[in-house]
Amino acid sequence: MRDGTIVVAGASLAGLRGAEALRTNGFSGRLILVGDEPHRPYDRPPLSKHVLTGEIPPGATTLPGVGTLRAEWRLGTPAAGLDRAGRALLLADGGRVPFDRLLIATGARARAWPAPEEARLSGVHTLRSRDDAAALAAGLAARPRRVLILGAGFIGCEVASSIRSLGLPVTVVDPAPAPLAQALGRVIGGFVAGRMVAAGVDLRLGMRVTRLEGDRAVRRARLEDGGTVEADLVVVALGAVRNTGWLAGAGLDADEGGLSCDGACRALDGEGRPVPDIFAAGDVARFPHPLHGNRPVALEHWGNAVAQAAHAARAMLDGPDSVGPYAEVPAFWSNQFGLTIKSLGLTEGADAVAIVQGSPRAGRFLAAYGRAGRTVAAVSVNAGRWLPAYEGPIRDGAPFPPITGGADQPRPESVPPGLPAPKVA
């Protein structure tokens, strides 16, 4: 299992780290990485922060290790199809890349504004790729009169923070009751909202944009209540869509929510059966997580892309029985408005949240999330040193709240977190 040809579809973080793990674990055969972008793998977190503010040029985000990997690169040509019977990856330029085993790590793309003619207006941006960041940074350097951000998720909030650091006026519109409500709920989101307003953001919550208007360039947005927001630069931050369209007709269980795979990262066919020679990792992979009752999840986390790619590589070389189910505790972080937000676990479906360390009034605290009396997640705000103590309780499903009675702890009071209803698989 350590020779032959392995093709990696996707040349971003998960694809690179998966390829590196294959070599580290003794794969000596032919290794081919196929990517839709012309760039070697690069780091995405700086794109919404340092690249937009001009502190880092887009070309300086290349990931370490790219130059030392012994592999063939096929960049700038997207995957267009999969011939499972013939064991070949089909490319958009008509090329055909045979494989013995395939690692799918095609990631996700930014969800576009739903009206194509409006999305094509000059000044309308999304942010996912290095080229997106370069175009948006150039637009900001032109000093627009007002920037409008559609969406108050992590990307929308990080971009708003970068824009305010440049001294530009910005409006953020989101139908949710609080920023980051989808991931963290209204309790923590309400705290973030206060920071955004204090930083000068015009925050419009519980509101939808129905139309972008302009001739060739965007000039304003029409709101559902009939009002308008004047803006000559718009950032569409409405989440991500998994890059699975190229798998249509391949007989795999794939849709906009991801490519289904088992705990050993093997892709599942339309009947839910594992395909022995095709694996998935990173943003595109939808897998059963033991900490989530083995319900399928797809994670857009930097750490997950690295860990899951390594897990898939070991399963490809040593067999699925040798690795066990993938069960890393999900973790992510975000920097915005002077806040360092870090998270462990999965908040989805949580029915309670409690401040268990520090205080929001002091601007540094940790909140624990519970579901059915068990601890499922923890989020720290400017208090990352407390977070590692909660990884064990989250992994073990300890009673909620898990840690009490400390000298520096407030008396925890559980309240509903204000999360949206869990998605139905």
DSSP per-residue codes, 100-135: SEEEE---EEEPPPS-HHHHTSBTEE--SSHHHHHH
SS3 232: coil
Ranges of the chain whose pLDDT falls below 70: 405-408, 422-425
The confidence score (pLDDT) of residue 405 equals 65
pLDDT for res 55: 96
> In the prediction, which pLDDT does 105 show?
98
In 3D space, the residue among 214, 209, 210 whose CA is nearest the CA of residue 232 turns out to be: 214
398 and 374 in contact (C-beta within 8 Å)?
A: yes
Residue 227 CA to residue 236 CA, distance in Å, equals 19
The half-sphere exposure of 338 on its side-chain side, counting CA atoms within 13 A, is 11
- Quick: pLDDT tens for 30-55: 999 999 999 999 999 999 999 999 99
Q: Which residues pair with 209 in a beta bridge?
A: 223
Element spanning 396, H or E? helix 391-396
**What pTM value is reported for the model?**
0.94
The predicted structure's pLDDT at residue 393: 95
For residue 422, the model assigns a pLDDT of 62
361: which 2 tokens?
Answer: 């009034």
Q: Cα(80)–Cα(64) distance, rounded to whole angstroms?
A: 28
Q: What percent helix, strand, coil does the chain show, rounded to 5? A: 30, 35, 40
Are residues 267 and 316 in contact, defined by beta-carbon separation less than 8 angstroms? no
For residue 49, the 8-state DSSP code is: T
Report the largest interatomic distance among the alpha carbons of the chain, rounded to a whole angstrom. 66
pLDDT in tens, 307-338: 999 999 999 999 999 999 999 999 999 999 99
pLDDT at 425: 43
In 10 A of CB 274, how many CB atoms? 17
